[in-house]
Structure 1
Amino acid sequence: MTERRVMMIQQGARRNFVYARHLEAANLLHSLVTDAAWPEGDAGSLAQFAARFAPRLRGAIARRTVPGVPSARLRASVLPNLVSTSMSFLHAERAYPLIDEALAWPNRLRGLEGADIVVNYHGNGGSFLAFAKRRGARIVSDFVVTPKYLEIEHEERSRWPGWESDSTSPSVIEFYRKRMSRLVAISDLYLCPSRAVARDLGDLPGFDPARVRLVPYGASGVLLREARPEPGRVLFAGAAGLRKGIPYLAKAARILKQRGMNIAIIVAGRVSPIVRARPETQDLVFLGALDRERMAEEFARTDVFCLPSLAEGSATSIYEALANGLPVVTTESSGSVVQDGVEGLIVPERDGTAIADGIARIVTDRRLRAAMSAAALAAAQRYSDEACGRAFVAVIRKLAGLSDVRLAEPKA
């Protein structure tokens, strides 16, 4: 049996603990260090308690249940959750390091306990990462979003004043940049979900391109319904904000209307009253935030998926679109696996006309739409959760100097 040498550190239930599950299936997981979480065996009694005394907690308990990882390898603490609640008055990027420290210090007291590889999400683990590095561990960091996302938000808020009530100060941008620079310097490998993230990491001091490993995230737990696309129905899924390119999508909707085309652009996701009321967005159809079932129904009805994002890691919604066989119109910065002209079209950023042209091209050319739909389904298989998990494990095995073996599939 493979020696268990890898400690996984993550805050929250990001992607249903997928890396920990794959490490466990490969007999590599030493421990999963996280905030509030429960092994499957304990979740049932917790859910029963919640159903009786706190029904609103049932969903949170389900999300924080770690499938396929035994309790012996789970180091969970509610301390980061308590700190997070008390730090709600801070900008998120100033609060995150404090929350990370709430996870770091209990873990420092326990130490590595035999682990010699530490995998973390975007700096989760705080000072424990430096602690582990000093003791000879190798640090693998998954950069889940472009390190420039705050700079991009700041630029867009300057470009579109009045669209968002939040602000991004230069001091917060600099604070975050220094944090990411420290993570780049300490990491032995950079896991990047897309070339866009690797590109933007290259602007940080100490960046070493030889440490980059491209490992897409894959489609995880997509709920599928029978496809019944309505020609001309275009879906955007996600928070309708500036970072996602919503002003440019709105411009595309206006252009398509002016051309007299029977195309409706549907926005499914959180939207502020400010954005909903803007005169520029009146040609978009806002559905608001949808539950999982309703979102699956929207994907089933969709003809073309569009995400003109300006800053991502690798957008989950695009993997969902591919799994539903949808052609995609998107930007390079979405971090998607979409190939231009194959599964969809890659359009220039901040260009409403290019977005409109791309949507119109696919909607009006049904043979092209059918070919792209077939390619999208094939891509979803290539970038399944299991396939991307195997790629991740292969990177870790190579770092550990282990020969390749046939791996079990993780428990979903």
Structure 2
Amino acid sequence: MLGALYTDATESVLNNWMGRTVEKMWDGRLARLRARSLPAIIPGNKVHSYPRYTAQKKLVDLVRSDSLAERNYRYRLGSHGLAQQLIRDDFAGCNALYVHACNGTEAIEEAQRRGLFVVLEAVSMPYHKYIEREEYKRHDRVFPDPDEEIKRNISFFRDEALMADLVVAASTHVENGLHELGVSPSHTAVVPYGIERGFYDRSPSPEPGRILFVGHVNYLKGVPYLAKAARILESREVDCNVRVVGGYDDGLIERPEFAGPSYVGAVPRSQVKDEFLRADVFVFPTLSDGFGIVLAEAAAAGLPIVSTPNCGDVVEDEHNGFVVPTRDPEALANRIQRLVENRRLRSEMSLAAHDRFCEHFTIQKYKENLAAAIRSRYERTR
């Protein structure tokens, strides 16, 4: 179905554009960009890469402090510059546009004028910044994002979603947010993400009581509630170790609300896989997450999962794990303790987790679901 792929940078383009002479100067962020190699299945002649738009945006970020959403749209910076390039190229002759939310308002507007079929991908819940702001308030901290910036981003999100013929949501949580925006249920479809069936090259070797969280350490991911759960488990003398794997801002884990777990920090991808394979239980207490690909990675490793409802629909409560309310450390601690101490239950949920992964959260299943959602909506509108 792919006619053309427009992006800012891939590994080959970055190497040509920046040259090998600056290799030693690249920081971690640029190193991650260099790792953005495309799957071999995508023909090179379909890829249109323009790193200059992102470079221009980064330069402006250094000298301007006005509203990012409004500024990027007005001056065609970053993805908005890429959208203008797409328009100049007449959409590469394609009859449909697939674009991420808040990345190409003008391309969506022009595509609609030309009669193209427009699919918008909603990676995150539209109101997640409000949820995060509330969490900062609960912990007597000042939220860094201005209210006007949050409102403007939601405004872009709403305008684009209402213009699109189809909005693809990563989870039911995201879809509910789209309906709150005013998007008709007939215009939305939930298409969960997936990973390769052979994601792991060896079998799991779980260590009893090894509790794992993987993700950036912050308030939105619910880490303070996991920390409180860890303290509860310690007070009950439950034989377990809560490990938090992921990067964090300086000083954050020194705050009292984060005390309890063992903070591993950011580690190479290969080591993250090892963490999954050695874990006993996976915990994801997020307050709002579009999907959380780590949920699929945990299920693929046969891990029982304790999560909230505000993320990907990977967990069936009491089947392959437990779904607990957000901001409920007591419920988190109870479910973790139950899995650690009931080895038969843990074993049953482990098998159920792997089976659910194979049935619903592989790349192949994602491909089938996405194609079916697009074709179904296209046939109803054309």
Normalized against structure 2, the TM-score is what? 0.89
From 371, 375, 380, the equivalent of 1:393 is: 371
Alignment partner, residue 213 of structure 1: 189
State whether residues 237 and 268 of structure 1, in contact with CA within 8 Å, keep that contact through their aligned partners in structure 2: yes
CA distance in 2, matches of 1:193, 1:66: 21
Q: Deviations over 1:120-167 (max 9, x none)?
A: 1223323011101100011111100000111111111111124xx751
CA distance in 2, matches of 1:45, 1:85: 19
Cα distance 1:99–1:329, how it changes in 2: closer, same or farther (>3 A)?
same
Alignment partner, residue 241 of structure 1: 218
Verify: 1:381 aligned to 2:354, yes or no: no
Alignment partner, residue 95 of structure 2: 116
State whether residues 14 and 34 of structure 2, in contact with CA within 8 Å, keep that contact through their aligned partners in structure 1: no
CA distance in 2, matches of 1:282, 1:400: 51
CA distance in 1, matches of 2:216, 2:31: 24
Alignment partner, residue 317 of structure 2: 340
| Residue 67 of structure 1: how far off its partner (Å) | 2.7
Alignment partner, residue 330 of structure 2: 353
| Residue 75 of structure 1: how far off its partner (Å) | 1.7
Q: Counterparts of 1:6-405 in structure 2 under 5 Å?
A: 28-37=1-10, 50=20, 54=23, 56=26, 60-89=33-62, 90=65, 93=69, 97=73, 98-162=77-141, 167-205=144-182, 207-220=183-196, 222-382=199-359, 383-401=361-379
What is the SS of the residue equivalent to 1:88? Answer: helix
State whether residues 248 and 352 of structure 1, in contact with CA within 8 Å, keep that contact through their aligned partners in structure 2: yes
What is the SS of the residue equivalent to 2:118? Answer: strand
CA distance in 1, matches of 2:92, 2:212: 48
State whether residues 195 and 362 of structure 2, in contact with CA within 8 Å, keep that contact through their aligned partners in structure 1: yes
| Residue 375 of structure 1: how far off its partner (Å) | 0.9
State whether residues 252 and 352 of structure 1, in contact with CA within 8 Å, keep that contact through their aligned partners in structure 2: yes
Letter in 1 for 2:189: R
Structure 1 alignment gaps of length 5 or more: 1-27, 403-412
| Residue 168 of structure 1: how far off its partner (Å) | 2.5
Alignment partner, residue 409 of structure 1: none
What is the SS of the residue equivalent to 1:173? Answer: helix
What is the SS of the residue equivalent to 1:256? Answer: helix
State whether residues 4 and 92 of structure 2, in contact with CA within 8 Å, keep that contact through their aligned partners in structure 1: no
Cα distance 1:373–1:96, how it changes in 2: closer, same or farther (>3 A)?
farther
CA distance in 2, matches of 1:222, 1:125: 32
CA distance in 1, matches of 2:178, 2:291: 14
Letter in 2 for 1:310: L
Letter in 1 for 2:102: G
State whether residues 93 and 172 of structure 1, in contact with CA within 8 Å, keep that contact through their aligned partners in structure 2: yes
Cα distance 1:288–1:44, how it changes in 2: closer, same or farther (>3 A)?
closer
What is the SS of the residue equivalent to 1:222? Answer: coil
What is the SS of the residue equivalent to 1:273? Answer: coil
Identity of aligned residues (%): 31
What is the SS of the residue equivalent to 1:280? Answer: helix
CA distance in 2, matches of 1:290, 1:94: 35
CA distance in 2, matches of 1:309, 1:45: 37
Q: Deviations over 1:17-46 (max 9, x none)?
A: xxxxxxxxxxx21111111126xxx57986
| Residue 100 of structure 1: how far off its partner (Å) | 2.2
| Residue 225 of structure 1: how far off its partner (Å) | 4.0
Root mean square deviation, CA, Å: 2.4
What is the SS of the residue equivalent to 1:33? Answer: strand
CA distance in 2, matches of 1:197, 1:126: 20
Alignment partner, residue 10 of structure 1: none
CA distance in 2, matches of 1:112, 1:171: 32
Cα distance 1:390–1:217, how it changes in 2: closer, same or farther (>3 A)?
same
| Residue 58 of structure 1: how far off its partner (Å) | 6.3
| Residue 267 of structure 1: how far off its partner (Å) | 0.4
Letter in 1 for 2:227: A
State whether residues 43 and 65 of structure 1, in contact with CA within 8 Å, keep that contact through their aligned partners in structure 2: no
State whether residues 117 and 378 of structure 2, in contact with CA within 8 Å, keep that contact through their aligned partners in structure 1: no
Q: How many residues align?
A: 368
What is the SS of the residue equivalent to 1:190? Answer: strand
Alignment partner, residue 18 of structure 1: none
| Residue 198 of structure 1: how far off its partner (Å) | 0.6
What is the SS of the residue equivalent to 1:63? Answer: coil
- Bigger drift between 333-342 and 352-361 goes to 333-342
Normalized against structure 1, the TM-score is what? 0.83
What is the SS of the residue equivalent to 2:213? Answer: strand
CA distance in 2, matches of 1:177, 1:266: 34
Letter in 1 for 2:51: V
CA distance in 2, matches of 1:61, 1:271: 22
